[in-house]
Every structure is written in structure tokens, then in C-alpha cells.
């Protein structure tokens, strides 16, 4: 059973960089794609981007200029960075494993951007 633990700073000021990391437990890191998804308060889900086991990445075009997703396979971790955050980036951020759908999710990290 895969478990995903996520962490990162929950309160940021405008223009700062959001940084979150997920660690995968259960020995199932290689061979899968890993995504970041966010959900603004009271709103729906928005896919941010993904990193494949090959290291290739795909990003949501609306966020691509500010987003970087990376992975450290030796630590079975993957990370998200979003630069120049604004209040519009306030959301619950989830990481998830893609295995024919997002089959396993982290519990979410609430990130609030406020001056």
C-alpha cells in the first residue's frame, strides 16, 4: 500500500516562492508518474503538472512559466516550486501518483499567500 507524506511552508508573502515536497512510502516510486494538483478554498481541482519516471515533465500551460517539478528517486521524493506567488495561488495543494488515474494522494497542504 503506497503512502504519500507531504510537507512545506503553509504561509507565504506575495512574490515569494512556494516549495512543497512529497515522500513516497511503500517502495513504489520508480515506474510511475507523479503529479501536483491544487484546490482553491471552496473551488474545484486544478492540475499543476507532473513528472514521469523518465524525468520528463508536463505542466499546466497557465502555470508553466512559474512552476518547476523535480524528483529525487534515491529519496523517493518529488517536489513542487511555484515562483512569484500571489493571493490567487492560495489553495490546498495535493501530490498524487498516476497509475491509470490518480490512484494515491497525499493529505494536502494548505498554502496561504497573504501580506
Partner 1 sequence: QSVLTQAPSASATPGQSVTISCSGSSSNIGSNYVYWYQQLPGTAPKLLIYRNNYRPSGVPDRFSGSKSGTSASLAISGLRSEDEADYYCAAWDDSLSGRVFGGGTKLTVL
Binding region for partner 1 (CB under 8 A)? 35, 44-47, 49-50, 58-61, 94, 100-103, 105-108
Q: How far is the CB of 15 from partner 1 (least distance, A)?
A: 26
**Tally of CB atoms within 10 A around 44:** 6
Q: What is the CA radius of gyration of the chain?
A: 13
Nearest to 14 by CA among 83, 114, 93: 114
Is the CB of 7 or the CB of 15 nearer to partner 1? 7
Is the CB of 85 or the CB of 95 nearer to partner 1? 95
Q: How far is the CB of 83 from partner 1 (least distance, A)?
A: 19
Is the CB of 31 or the CB of 42 nearer to partner 1? 42
Q: How far is the CB of 115 from partner 1 (least distance, A)?
A: 28
Residues 6+ apart with CB under 8 A from 7: 20, 21, 109
Q: Alpha-carbon distance 90 to 97, whole Å? A: 22
Q: How far is the CB of 74 from partner 1 (least distance, A)?
A: 26
* Whether the Cβ atoms of residue 82 and residue 63 lie closer than 8 Å to each other: yes
Is the CB of 29 or the CB of 59 nearer to partner 1? 59
Amino acid at each position: 500500500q503506497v503512502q504519500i507524506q507531504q510537507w512545506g511552508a503553509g504561509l507565504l508573502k506575495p512574490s515569494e516562492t512556494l516549495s512543497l515536497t512529497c515522500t513516497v512510502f511503500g517502495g513504489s516510486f520508480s515506474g510511475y508518474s507523479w503529479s501536483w494538483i491544487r484546490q482553491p478554498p471552496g473551488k474545484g481541482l486544478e492540475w499543476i503538472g507532473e513528472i514521469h519516471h523518465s524525468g520528463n515533465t508536463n505542466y499546466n500551460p497557465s502555470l508553466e512559466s512559474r512552476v518547476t517539478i523535480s524528483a529525487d528517486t534515491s529519496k523517493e521524493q518529488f517536489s513542487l516550486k511555484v515562483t512569484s506567488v500571489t493571493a490567487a495561488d492560495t489553495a490546498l495543494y495535493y501530490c498524487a501518483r498516476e497509475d491509470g488515474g490518480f490512484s494515491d494522494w497525499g493529505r494536502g497542504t494548505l498554502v496561504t499567500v497573504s501580506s
